[in-house]
């Protein structure tokens, strides 16, 4: 299991190698890896070995173990991730043919696949969170894949900010949950559900987790990043932004249903959230004329429906969720891949222009029709069965069954029209002469969508393939009780069948009746000022504005003010602390007598300080500063700190050199400042100096705990074979600190170097 | 600065100071000294040379760009820390060659770590000071 998750990561690393003339071979064969993972999980499924939990320690060096949990829900996801992943890899190799970064795309896809597999297999919530963030990051790179386009980069950033921000919120929720449950294992949390739900923090946890899921699964009002994400190459949209990643939020809610679900608060929040999303987005899907736009909004709507169903939370609705996740992944990925083919061959994605393509690419048309049928829920497709389950669960809900059912029916009618717009409209009618030279792409492009579409039909005809144990296990893992029912196309004449009939008939009628033009879309553009995306952008710009204002005040560029503020602040903190706590008394009998040379050194110190402060020449001031440093060195020498003295000596030499070099470039010293500023500076510096002196004496008086220094003293020769304790501490006991310090030193040097070598031309200054 | 005294003097002080810096580096484990101070002394030696003879001469003398010493030093320190891990011990464990080596004394990972510190300090200091000297 560990290998199955690590393999995609290893593949991603492997794909960093520049392959040059083997590029084509590599691109055409990488699908073997996801295929292998798929067959591993398929074999696990067929042998009935679900319900596996396990631990895998990464190594002995890194004390970190991964807790796995492979139950019905995880299994559904891993099969989708690796199965659809395989087809996406095959498709992408052909779709991106000739693109210089084809391998890079596959590397990112592979990284994403690993993250997604890890996400759905983790039992430990922090592991889950780690992989959750990784999917956001890989999604960022994939959306911004065409990194030369500004729109692409902006969409990538928007998606990262929304999903990454949601990730942070989720992190808070998971931490709180872990604290309350005092375990981070989801399996163990399920047993503690009663305590968690009764906790006063429960509503907070619930809201945080739902917010995290809502950003990832593009729920209203966070949905706008998903249509933007369509800037990614089509295989990416098919894989991440319809079939797998956006379902991570749904997965999370489903996964936590047995832990924090089932309360009224949970149900109503999710029903409202999902309900608004599915209606809003389905309506928007009708207004789009760009194929990918239609698919993006219908995906948001479908995600809303999944959240809605999780909110209902009955056995029937949870079964419907599991079913709908599978149905949706199959037909939506197929529709995306078909869109990719159309775009690739004709160069257009506008449904007002595309017509009659069935005459030039019939297998693609067949896939499109099958996917549209599954989307519409026309028997005998799997979609029909999924739709039936949805209606069944809303009809039997205790809370407002009529309202819920009508919301779902309306959404389904709109989704049906959107599905036909995407899967059928481009292929119907007469072929315009502009497209007469369009031809069928190579097999590896049209086989994957056809296969997905056929599976959507095939599972509907033979539902027993997925019924047991897959769907039964999903209900088991979400609801805690095993489900004994059977999936079937025919349930007899009942309300559900009637509703299905209404959906199909109304939908198809409206498909032909509604005018297909961009006129309606143009009418509602006046409302964009109120759209969540616009409000979001305004907030982001407001932050920018605020940041500029704050920076202008705090980072005003006057070094002397920075120092003044820092000293005054630290000084007042120190003064506040010391004001209540000065206990020291100076015991003169302990002090050694003052020698002549000490008195001389102190005399030199005082004189050179006066010189530094009152000199009108900068050079004199710097030189006297140097004298101060040297005098301090001497004091170190007297009081047996030779290491300190040596360091201070060399540092002071270099400081003087640096000062001279910098002063050399400054204009001549002119006395411009006012007397009042001199007094202010004097007060701050004398006050700060006095405080430090007081602090030093206080420390001297309260002998601190000596265990650490005693340890170093006792062990520096025994353990580290060194007699110079200072050096042993630096290179051995606290070696890691030193390592970081020299890294910091290098960064500082690089910083100075690049600032001084930087030549900003006037035209380049700021865009 | 074109003073003949300083120029002549720097010609003799440079090798002496550099040798002294290595001496300080090596004695660090038993007596006052170590990579940090050693590195600073070496930097001072080269800065003095640059002051006396001009930065161009010093650059010619050093041949490589001082910034190059930073990654070399960092890798030396890091490798000396990683070495014990090969033998299954924690990162940065001090390990010593059991016999004394002439001139150097005892040889161990800590010494290599200190050499890394020395190189980084020389590299960073010289990069900063040379950049400031050369700034137009």
The Cα of B3 is separated from the nearest Cα of chain A by a number of Å equal to 17
pLDDT at A759 over 70: no
Q: How far is CA A195 from CA A81, A125, A202, A390, A579, in A?
A: 34, 18, 9, 31, 48
From A21-30, A45-54, A149-158, B105-114, the region with the lowest mean pLDDT: A45-54
Integer Cα distance of A268 and A210 in angstroms: 12
Contact A427, A438 (CB under 8 A): no
Integer Cα distance of A256 and A269 in angstroms: 15
Integer Cα distance of B42 and B73 in angstroms: 14
pLDDT at A670 over 80: no
The answer to whether the Cβ–Cβ distance between A643 and B128 falls below 8 Å is: no
| Torsion on CA atoms A381, A387, A388, A394, rounded to nearest 10 | 170
The structure tokens 């890798």 sit at B75
Write down the pLDDT at residue A62.
47
The answer to whether the Cβ–Cβ distance between A745 and B114 falls below 8 Å is: no
Write down the pLDDT at residue A516.
56
Integer Cα distance of A271 and A309 in angstroms: 7
pLDDT at A64 over 60: no
Confidence of residue A767 (pLDDT cuts 50, 70, 90): very low
Write down the pLDDT at residue A49.
60
Write down the pLDDT at residue A18.
80
Query: How many CB atoms lie under 10 A from the CB of residue A541?
Result: 10
Phi-psi region of A356 (alpha: psi -120 to 50; beta: other; left: phi over 0): left
> Structure tokens of A569?
């602040």
Strand, helix or coil for residue A41 = helix
Query: How many CB atoms lie under 10 A from the CB of residue A669?
Result: 14
pLDDT at A582 over 80: no
Residue pairs spanning A and B at CB distance below 8 A: 141
> Structure tokens of A132?
């959750």
The structure tokens 């393509």 sit at A357
Based on its alpha-carbon atoms, the radius of gyration of chain B, rounded to whole angstroms, reads 17
Instruction: Identify which of B41, B85, B113 has the shortest CB distance to residue A731.
Output: B113
Query: Distance of alpha carbon A708 from its chain centroid, rounded?
Result: 42
Phi, psi (degrees; rounded to nearest 5) at A98:
85, -10
Contact A205, A152 (CB under 8 A): no
Write down the pLDDT at residue A276.
92
From A115-129, A322-336, A347-361, the region with the lowest mean pLDDT: A347-361
Confidence of residue A111 (pLDDT cuts 50, 70, 90): very high
DSSP letter at A263 equals S
Write down the pLDDT at residue A53.
57
Q: pLDDT tens-digit profile of A461-474?
A: 887 777 767 777 77
> Most A CBs within 10 Å: which of B45, B132, B133, B134, as the mutation test of the A interface?
B132
> Most B CBs within 10 Å: which of A626, A654, A735, as the mutation test of the B interface?
A735
pLDDT at A211 over 90: yes
From A306-320, A573-587, A683-697, the region with the lowest mean pLDDT: A573-587
Integer Cα distance of A757 and B132 in angstroms: 9
Cis status of the peptide bond prior to A221, with omega within 30 of 0: yes
Write down the pLDDT at residue A169.
94
> Touching check for A737 and chain B: CB below 8 Å?
no
Q: pLDDT tens-digit profile of A34-51?
A: 999 999 888 888 876 655
Query: Distance of alpha carbon A116 from its chain centroid, rounded?
Result: 12
pLDDT at B1 over 60: no
Instruction: Identify which of B110, B120, B121 has the shortest CB distance to residue A731.
Output: B110
Q: Which residue of A has its CA nearest to B40?
A: A650
pLDDT at A54 over 60: no
Q: How far is CA A539 from CA A530, A546, A547, A548, A754, in A?
A: 13, 10, 12, 14, 34
Contact A145, A152 (CB under 8 A): yes
Contact A37, A7 (CB under 8 A): yes
Write down the pLDDT at residue A186.
85
Tell me which chain A residues have a C-beta less than 8 angstroms from the C-beta of B29.
721-724, 727-728, 731
> Touching check for B38 and chain A: CB below 8 Å?
no
Long-range contacts of A675-680 (CB under 8 A, 24+ apart): A680/A564
> Touching check for B122 and chain A: CB below 8 Å?
no
Strand, helix or coil for residue B105 = strand
Integer Cα distance of A586 and A592 in angstroms: 13
Integer Cα distance of A678 and A411 in angstroms: 74
Phi, psi (degrees; rounded to nearest 5) at A726:
-55, -50
Write down the pLDDT at residue A628.
92
pLDDT at A61 over 60: no
In a 10 Å sphere around its CB, with 0-12 CB exposed, 13-18 middle and 19+ buried, how is residue A369 labelled? middle
The answer to whether the Cβ–Cβ distance between A721 and B127 falls below 8 Å is: no
> Touching check for B81 and chain A: CB below 8 Å?
yes
Q: What is the ipTM of this complex?
A: 0.92
Confidence of residue A126 (pLDDT cuts 50, 70, 90): confident
List, in sequence order, the alpha helices (H) in A60-149. Answer: 72-95, 102-121, 125-143
Confidence of residue A703 (pLDDT cuts 50, 70, 90): low
Q: What is the mean pLDDT of chain A?
A: 84
pLDDT at A748 over 90: yes
Q: pLDDT tens-digit profile of A216-246?
A: 998 888 888 888 888 888 889 888 888 888 8
Write down the pLDDT at residue A526.
57
Query: How many CB atoms lie under 10 A from the CB of residue A627?
Result: 18
The Cα of B106 is separated from the nearest Cα of chain A by a number of Å equal to 9
Q: Which residue of B has its CA nearest to A718?
A: B94
Q: pLDDT tens-digit profile of A536-554?
A: 888 888 988 999 998 888 8
Instruction: Identify which of A654, A658, A721 has the shortest CB distance to residue B106.
Output: A721
Instruction: Identify which of B32, B78, B132 has the shortest CB distance to residue A658.
Output: B132
């Amino acid at each position: 299991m560990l290998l199955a998750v690590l393999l995609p990561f290893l593949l991603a690393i492997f794909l960093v190698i520049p392959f040059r003339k083997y590029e084509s071979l590599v691109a055409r064969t990488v699908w073997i890896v996801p295929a292998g993972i798929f067959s591993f999980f398929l074999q696990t499924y067929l042998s009935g070995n679900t319900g596996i939990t396990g631990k895998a320690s990464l190594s002995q060096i890194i004390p970190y173990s991964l807790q796995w949990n492979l139950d019905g829900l995880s299994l559904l996801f891993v099969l989708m991730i690796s199965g659809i992943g395989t087809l996406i890899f095959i498709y992408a190799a052909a779709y991106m043919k000739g693109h210089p970064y084809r391998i890079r795309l596959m590397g990112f896809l592979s990284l994403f696949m690993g993250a997604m597999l890890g996400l759905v297999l983790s039992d430990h919530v922090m592991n889950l969170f780690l992989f959750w963030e990784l999917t956001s990051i890989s999604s960022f790179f994939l959306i911004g894949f065409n990194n030369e386009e500004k729109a692409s980069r902006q969409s990538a950033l928007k998606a990262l900010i929304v999903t990454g921000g949601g990730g942070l919120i989720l992190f808070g929720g998971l931490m709180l949950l872990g604290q309350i449950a005092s375990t981070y294992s989801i399996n163990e949390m399920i047993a503690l559900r009663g305590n968690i739900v009764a906790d006063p923090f429960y509503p907070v946890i619930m809201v945080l987790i739902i917010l995290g899921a809502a950003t990832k699964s593009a729920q209203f009002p966070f949905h706008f990043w998903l249509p933007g994400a369509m800037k990614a190459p089509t295989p990416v949209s098919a894989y991440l932004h319809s079939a797998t990643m956006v379902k991570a939020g749904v997965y999370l809610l489903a996964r936590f249903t047995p832990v924090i679900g089932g309360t009224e608060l949970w149900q109503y929040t999710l029903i409202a959230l999902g309900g608004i999303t599915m209606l809003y987005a389905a309506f928007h899907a009708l207004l789009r004329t760009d194929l990918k736009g239609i698919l993006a909004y219908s995906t948001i709507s479908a995600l809303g429906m999944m959240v809605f169903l999780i909110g209902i939370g009955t056995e029937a609705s949870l079964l419907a969720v599991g079913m709908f996740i599978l149905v949706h992944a199959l037909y939506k990925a197929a529709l995306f891949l078909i869109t990719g083919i159309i775009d690739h061959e004709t160069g257009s994605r506008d449904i007002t222009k595309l017509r009659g393509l069935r005459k030039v690419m019939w297998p693609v048309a067949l896939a499109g029709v099958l996917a549209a049928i599954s989307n519409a829920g026309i028997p005998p497709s799997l979609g029909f069965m999924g739709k039936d389950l949805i209606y069944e669960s809303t009809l039997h809900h205790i809370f407002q069954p009529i309202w819920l059912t009508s919301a779902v029916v309306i959404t389904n009618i709109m989704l049906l029209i959107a599905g036909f717009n995407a899967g059928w409209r481009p292929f119907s009618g007469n072929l315009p002469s502009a497209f007469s030279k369009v031809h069928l792409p190579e097999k590896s492009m049209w086989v994957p969508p056809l296969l997905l579409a056929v599976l959507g039909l095939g599972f509907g005809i033979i539902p027993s393939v997925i019924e047991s144990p897959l769907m039964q296990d999903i209900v088991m893992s979400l609801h805690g009780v095993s489900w004994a029912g059977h999936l079937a196309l025919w349930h007899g004449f009942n309300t559900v069948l009637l509703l299905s009939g209404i959906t199909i008939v109304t939908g198809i009628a409206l498909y032909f009746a509604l005018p297909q033009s961009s006129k309606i879309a143009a009418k509602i553009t006046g409302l964009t000022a109120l759209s969540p995306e616009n409000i979001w952008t305004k907030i982001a710009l407001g932050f920018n504005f605020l940041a500029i204002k704050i920076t202008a005040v705090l980072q005003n560029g006057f070094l002397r003010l920075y120092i003044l503020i820092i000293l005054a602040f630290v000084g007042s903190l120190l003064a506040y602390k010391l004001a209540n706590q000065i206990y020291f008394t100076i015991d003169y009998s302990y002090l050694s007598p003052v020698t002549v040379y000490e008195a001389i050194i102190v005399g030199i110190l005082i004189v050179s300080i006066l010189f530094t402060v009152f000199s009108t020449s900068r050079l004199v001031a710097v030189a006297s500063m140097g004298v101060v440093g040297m005098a301090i060195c001497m004091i170190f020498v007297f009081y047996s700190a030779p290491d300190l003295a040596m360091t201070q000596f060399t540092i002071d030499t270099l400081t003087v050199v640096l000062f001279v070099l910098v002063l050399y470039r400054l204009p001549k010293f002119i006395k411009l400042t006012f007397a009042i500023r001199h007094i202010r500076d004097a007060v701050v510096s004398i006050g700060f100096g006095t405080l430090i002196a007081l602090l030093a004496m206080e420390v001297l008086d309260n002998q601190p705990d000596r265990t650490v220094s005693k340890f170093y003293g006792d062990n520096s020769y025994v353990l580290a074979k060194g007699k110079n304790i200072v050096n042993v501490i630096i290179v051995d006991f606290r070696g890691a600190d030193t390592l970081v310090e020299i890294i910091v030193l290098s960064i500082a040097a690089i910083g100075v170097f690049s600032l001084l070598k930087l030549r900003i031309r006037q035209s380049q200054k700021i865009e | 600065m074109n003073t003949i005294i300083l120029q002549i003097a720097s010609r003799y002080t440079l090798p002496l100071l550099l040798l002294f810096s290595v001496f300080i580096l090596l004695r660090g484990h038993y007596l006052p000294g170590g990579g940090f101070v050693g590195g600073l002394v070496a930097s001072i030696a080269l800065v003095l040379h640059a002051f006396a003879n001009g930065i161009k001469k010093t650059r010619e003398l050093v041949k490589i760009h001082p910034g190059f010493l930073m990654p070399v030093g960092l890798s030396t320190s890091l490798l000396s820390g990683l070495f014990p891990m090969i033998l299954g011990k924690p990162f940065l464990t001090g390990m010593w060659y059991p016999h004394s080596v002439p001139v150097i004394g005892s040889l161990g990972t800590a010494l290599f770590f200190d050499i890394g510190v020395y190189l980084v300090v020389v590299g960073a200091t010289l990069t900063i000071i040379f950049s400031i000297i050369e700034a137009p």
